[in-house]
Amino acid sequence: MDDQAQAQEGRSLFNQTCAHCHGPDAAAGQPERNLRHLRARYGSDMDDVFRSTVINGRLDKGMPVWAEVLDAKTIDAIYGFLKTVQEDAE
Residue 89 domain flag: no
Domain that holds residue 43: 3-84
pTM over 0.85: yes
pLDDT (tens digit, 9 = 90+) per residue, 46-65? Answer: 999 999 999 999 999 999 99
Residue 29 domain flag: yes
- Total of domains in the chain: 1
Residue 34 domain flag: yes
What does the pLDDT read at residue 90?
60
Q: What is the CATH number of the domain that holds 10?
A: 1.10.760.10
Give 4's contacts (C-beta < 8 A, 6+ positions apart). Answer: none
Residue 90 domain flag: no
